[in-house]
């Protein structure tokens, strides 16, 4: 999408002619990229006028995001869907960020105007995608249920992002559960009830019956060790300061953990390069780390790749191309078993130019650990109590598990489901006949 300057002669006429053509084709839906971030208010108004002029109800979807919250009312008045985030992939870190994003945008949902949390990256992905890695979703089963539950109670548009013919039975069941889809399609006033750390409750109303929907999430994570525990760390890098060097004492260590963390700016363009990573064995002997296999590798987007950037191109930082290195994406951990006798780790680290040239670029920090970069993991499942009074329902209301369809019987004054880590439950709670409701 190349910007049409709204106050130039012919701008409105151009869009009028374009949508006259689309309407003549019987078009029902148009997604226009590069309208939301940065926000092109005047051009959006041109598009809205052109659509309305045709008399055809064409759905207008604006992308990508995050649409500025300051422009929420304008988006609500002129578009039918607008993106609340940048491109969303099968990353738990990105999914977890949606709790805050959805909470921020929930007041602006209304019939015909929907904050769009982006696609559902489920099933088989990447057959012809920008990253090219043909693979199943990296979301666990619990994370997939969290995704569908949050999108449904938030009432995001549901746009499947996988290869439909490749779906297995579990993915198809996830996408077609009629009770869950009813929450997305027919509930009202979806909103966060409360958040207590990484335990989150959402609720929505069934206006036809007076029932309430309750979604409970366990977003607890194994927390990262503090940067102060690292054996070495770069400053926070950005396109203003895109690279640094690391020279870290690893004498006596058995493991090496190369960690990249998001610098906290909210940008998803955190393409990170470990360049010429080298192990030293005393004063004269060295070995390239790229010659050693890692034990495990994670990346917040794409997959870690030897001698290429995470986007598949050359490793290029600050105008220089490097033949040897590892491309990854925050948040990322590469784990190695160290050969005996390694004494130092050295590398140039930087923000890859593929990211530095996008919008404001990204921000990230490189850290080197010789002990685990994670603190001890929380429990696999926790009990999360929710007061019926907080829902405005009396004790004795009937609870149905919407994922399974099972009736759980009447509730007491508190509902306290066990929720798996990264998982979710979704209930429909119906008051007794004749009971007063708030």
Is residue 328 within 8 Å of residue 310, measured between CB atoms? yes
In the chain, where the domains are located: 120-219+378-438, 227-369
Tokens of 19: 């949508």
Is residue 347 within 8 Å of residue 277, measured between CB atoms? yes
Provide CB contacts within 8 A for 215, sequence distance 6+.
Answer: 149, 150, 152, 153, 201, 202, 203, 424, 425, 426, 427
pLDDT tens for each residue of 250-286: 999 999 999 999 887 766 789 999 999 999 998 889 9
Q: Confidence class of residue 382 from pLDDT cuts 50, 70 and 90?
A: very high
CA 335 from centroid of its chain's CA atoms: 24
In angstroms, the CA 85 to CA 89 distance is: 11
Please report, in angstroms and rounded to a whole number, the separation of the first and last CA atoms in the chain: 48
- Output the average pLDDT for the chain: 93
Distances (CA, A) of 417 to 179, 199, 205, 214, 432: 19, 12, 20, 11, 21
402 DSSP β-pair partners = none
Q: Confidence class of residue 435 from pLDDT cuts 50, 70 and 90?
A: low
Looking at 1.10.3720.10, 3.40.50.2300, 3.40.50.300, 2.60.40.1180, the CATH number of the domain 120-219+378-438 comes to 2.60.40.1180
Percentage of residues of the chain with pLDDT beyond 70: 97
pLDDT tens for each residue of 288-313: 999 999 999 998 888 899 999 998 89
Q: Confidence class of residue 132 from pLDDT cuts 50, 70 and 90?
A: low
pLDDT tens for each residue of 308-349: 999 889 999 999 999 999 999 999 999 999 999 999 999 999
Q: Residue ranges of the alpha helices (H) in 327-404?
A: 353-356, 388-391
Ordered DSSP codes for 147-166: HHHHHHHHT----B-S-GGG
Average pLDDT over residues 364-389: 95
Average pLDDT over residues 420-429: 98
Average pLDDT over residues 147-165: 96
Say yes or no to pLDDT of 70 above 90. yes
Q: Quote the pLDDT of residue 434.
A: 66
113 DSSP β-pair partners = 110
In angstroms, the CA 24 to CA 7 distance is: 27
């Amino acid at each position: 999408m190349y910007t049409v300057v709204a106050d130039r002669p012919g701008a409105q006429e151009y869009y009028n002619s374009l949508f006259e053509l689309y309407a003549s084709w019987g078009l029902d839906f148009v997604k226009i990229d590069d309208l939301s971030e940065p926000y092109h208010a005047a051009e959006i108004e041109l598009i809205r006028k052109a659509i309305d002029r045709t008399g055809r109800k064409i759905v207008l979807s604006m992308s990508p995001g995050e649409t500025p919250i300051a422009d929420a009312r304008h988006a609500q008045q002129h578009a039918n869907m607008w993106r609340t985030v940048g491109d969303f992939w099968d990353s738990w870190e990105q999914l977890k960020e949606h709790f805050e994003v959805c909470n921020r945008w929930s007041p602006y949902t209304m019939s015909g105007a929907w904050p769009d949390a982006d696609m559902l990256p489920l099933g088989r992905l990447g057959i012809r995608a920008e990253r090219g890695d043909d693979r199943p979703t990296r979301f666990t089963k619990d994370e997939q249920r969290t995704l569908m539950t949050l999108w449904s109670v938030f009432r995001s548009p549901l746009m499947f992002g996988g290869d439909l013919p490749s779906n297995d039975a579990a993915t198809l069941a996830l996408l077609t559960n009629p009770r869950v889809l009813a929450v997305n399609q027919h509930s009202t006033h979806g909103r966060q009830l409360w958040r207590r750390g990484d335990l989150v409750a959402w609720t929505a109303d069934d206006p036809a019956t007076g029932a309430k929907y309750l979604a409970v999430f366990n977003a607890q994570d194994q927390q990262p060790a503090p940067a102060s525990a690292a054996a070495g760390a770069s400053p926070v890098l950005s396109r203003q300061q895109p690279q640094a060097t690391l020279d870290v004492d690893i004498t006596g260590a058995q493991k090496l953990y190369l960690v990249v963390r998001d610098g906290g700016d909210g940008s998803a363009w955190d393409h990170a390069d470990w360049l010429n990573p080298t192990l030293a064995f005393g004063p004269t002997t060295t070995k390239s780390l790229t010659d050693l296999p890692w034990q495990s590798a994670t990346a917040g987007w794409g997959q870690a790749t030897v001698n290429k950037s995470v986007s598949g191109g050359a490793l290029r930082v600050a105008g220089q191309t490097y033949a040897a290195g590892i491309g990854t994406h925050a948040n990322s951990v590469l784990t190695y078993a160290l050969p005996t006798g390694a004494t130092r780790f050295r590398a140039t680290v930087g923000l890859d130019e593929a990211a530095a040239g996008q919008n404001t670029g990204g921000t990230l920090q490189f850290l080197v650990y010789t002990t685990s970069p994670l603190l001890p993991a929380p429990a696999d499942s926790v009990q999360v109590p929710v007061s019926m009074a907080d829902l405005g329902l009396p004790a004795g209301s009937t609870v149905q598990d919407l994922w399974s369809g099972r009736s759980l019987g009447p509730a007491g004054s508190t509902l306290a489901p066990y929720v798996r880590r990264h998982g979710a439950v979704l209930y429909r709670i119906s008051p007794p006949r004749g009971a007063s409701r708030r």
